[in-house]
Amino acid sequence: MSFSEGKKATRQRVIMTELALSPSVRTSELATRLGVSAETVRRDIEEMTRRGLVSRTYGGATGLQLGLQPGFQDRDATAVQERDTIARMAVRMVKPGDVLMIDSGSTTAHFARALAYSIDGLTVITNCLAVAQALAPQKKTRVVLCPGEFSAHEGGVYGPETCAFLDRFNADIAFIGASGLTPDGPNDVESGACWVKRKMLERAERRALLVASSKFNRRHLELVCRLRDLSDIVTEALPTGPMADALRISGVTLHVREDRLSEAS
């Protein structure tokens, strides 16, 4: 009888579907709709809660509100302070009317939010949904979104379509992020993301890397480019050791600020 998946799996899939359509479901309704007893539904919900799929409530369940992609903003929710400093510094590189390319990532998205209320008349080309959403409400900013395969994990689009599209534009400044920075240069875990970053760097006059100091000396799958291929690096703490040496030699402009000022007490 059963061919592809068990009854339980089917039931739980229906629950997820139901939850995708409405913010909450009720045990009793599900029981009727699924033709099983309330107890069974309750057990399903309990199990799904354990697995982190839903959140149990009195009388039913609700989906987990994920503000965004799981792992996109959560990835380092602790680093808000650092990202904030970086974002503010990076904003100072931009002047009204500039054409920007902005990469996907939590740091660049934060930068975009800071940009939104600071500078007018921008044109922003991005492959990141969060960046687009941050900037678009500003009437005076034009946001161009790249095509490509959408990755929920990264919250952006990637692939040959993306690169080919970027190839048709010229920008004043490109802002890219990275999952690591070594003396060799910025690197990233995603190969698809690397190609997009490279293409952005290629099409822009100034080429800025936004990176938290916690990423220093972290080595990942693929090298995006050499240090000397960047024109600016924006970070919140001075690098040390080999990293500092490599930066000095590369001739990249380093934007750092240590003043730890908060919002008025």
Partner DNA sequence: TCAAAAATTTTGGACATTCCACATTAGTAT
Partner DNA sequence: ATACTAATGTGGAATGTCCAAAATTTTTGA
Residues at the site binding DNA, with contacts judged by CB under 7 A:
1-2, 6-8, 11, 26-28, 35-40, 42-44, 57-60
Interacting residues of 149 by C-beta distance below 8 A, sequence separation 6+: 157, 158, 159, 161, 162, 192
**Residue 110 binds a copy of itself (CB under 8 A):** yes
63 binds, among DNA, a copy of itself, none (CB under 5 to 8 A by kind): a copy of itself
Pair 192, 231: CB distance under 8 Å: no
245 binds, among a copy of itself, DNA, none (CB under 5 to 8 A by kind): none
Tell which positions 192-251 bind a copy of itself, by CB under 8 A: none
8 binds, among a copy of itself, DNA, none (CB under 5 to 8 A by kind): DNA
Interacting residues of 139 by C-beta distance below 8 A, sequence separation 6+: none
CA–CA gap between residue 164 and residue 162 (Å, rounded): 6
Helix (H) or strand (E) holding 244: helix 241-250
> Where does residue 59 fall: left (phi above 0), alpha (psi -120 to 50 degrees), or beta otherwise?
left
For DNA, give the closer residue by CB, 40 or 214.
40
Pair 101, 177: CB distance under 8 Å: no
**Residue 34 binds a copy of itself (CB under 8 A):** yes
Size of the site for a copy of itself (CB under 8 A): 61
Closest CA to 182 of 218, 222, 233: 218
Residues that bind a copy of itself (CB under 8 A): 10-11, 13-14, 16-17, 20-24, 26, 33-35, 55, 57-60, 62-70, 80, 84, 87, 110, 113-114, 116-118, 129, 132-134, 136-137, 142-152, 157, 161, 165, 262-264
